[in-house]
Amino acid sequence: MIITKQRQDSKLCKGLKFLDKRTRLNEEYRKQLMNMEKGIRGEELFDSLIKKYLLSDVLVLHDLLLVHSGSTFQIDTLIVSSSTLYLYEVKNYQGNYTNASGQFLTGSGKEINNPSTQLKRTETLLRKLLQDKEFDFDVKGYVVFTHPNFYLYNATEEDPFIFPPQFEHHFRSINNQYKTLKTDDYYLSDTLIQLQREEAPYQKQLPDYVYSHFKKGLNCTKCGGLTLILTQRSVTCHECKHKEELESTVLSNVEQFIFLFPNQRLTSNRLSDWMGETIGRH
């Protein structure tokens, strides 16, 4: 198993996280951040299962953003295995859901889109893209539910779903095909990586913010907490107890500033204001 494209940190998620710790995010954005973080945890879990169970000669591409005829589509994970493509849409839903004639109902009765609709769209666009580039690959699409506490009523065998108790069996069935990779597989992987689209500019998707509304001070690189206990060379977070070298904490706080205010000049006054007076004393 070779990972030819790693998953990248979402800049939007990163920005929302920074804002959440230093400003007051409204409910809508806070919910968006929580959903994104939950999705990321599901993807991380899925990635670790791939590493654990997928032993065969395959290429793995995470997080592809592609366009066909003006339609953008995103693929959570794609496995390339000798003329077959396994396409995965990862969902980290939690709790009881019901599959009610095409719609999904949450435990509280809220209707959400059936993820297989999204999967079908992605599959169709990928097939068209492959045709366009003259690749002859079979595409098999799945929706993967990663959360151990997820249960779906009315799921049928025909649904393209994979549930946690089925992961091992699914990957073993790919392993059991005993195929070796061909030149075309590598060529396809390279082509898809080259066709990658940039994520929409994160600044445009973040809520408006102004410097004066930010809580200042050095913050913890792990949880974002602003109560740090400083010693000569290290910092310890009062909230999560994470301990780190002072230098790397300062660097990451500078990076936060650059990320949030890419057009502002970096001056030592600005930075000492951003990170708080505590730094000046050490």
Between 23 and 166, name the residue whose CB sits nearer to Zn ion: 23
Which one among 38, 140, 179, 242 touches Zn ion, defined by CB under 5 A?
Answer: 242
CA–CA distance, 258 with 122 (Å, rounded to integer): 35
CA–CA distance, 198 with 59 (Å, rounded to integer): 22
**Residue 125 corresponds to which amino acid?**
L
Q: Which of residues 181-220 bind Zn ion (CB under 5 A)?
A: 220
- Shortest reach from residue 15's CB to Zn ion, in Å: 19
Which one among 237, 253, 257, 260 touches Zn ion, defined by CB under 5 A?
Answer: 237
Does residue 65 touch Zn ion according to CB under 5 A?
A: no
Which one among 240, 251, 258, 266 touches Zn ion, defined by CB under 5 A?
Answer: 240
**Number of residues binding to Zn ion, judged by CB under 5 A:** 8
End-to-end CA distance of the chain: give it in Å, rounded. 48
CA–CA distance, 16 with 39 (Å, rounded to integer): 15
- Shortest reach from residue 16's CB to Zn ion, in Å: 17
Identify the CA nearest to 80 among candidates 39, 140, 37. Answer: 140
Does residue 21 touch Zn ion according to CB under 5 A?
A: no
Which one among 181, 223, 254, 279 touches Zn ion, defined by CB under 5 A?
Answer: 223
Does residue 222 touch Zn ion according to CB under 5 A?
A: yes
- Shortest reach from residue 225's CB to Zn ion, in Å: 4
**Residue 23 corresponds to which amino acid?**
T
CA–CA distance, 114 with 123 (Å, rounded to integer): 15
CA–CA distance, 100 with 111 (Å, rounded to integer): 9
Lookup result for tokens 């779906």: 152
Does residue 235 touch Zn ion according to CB under 5 A?
A: no
What does the binding site for Zn ion look like in residue numbers (CB under 5 A)? 220, 222-223, 225, 237, 239-240, 242
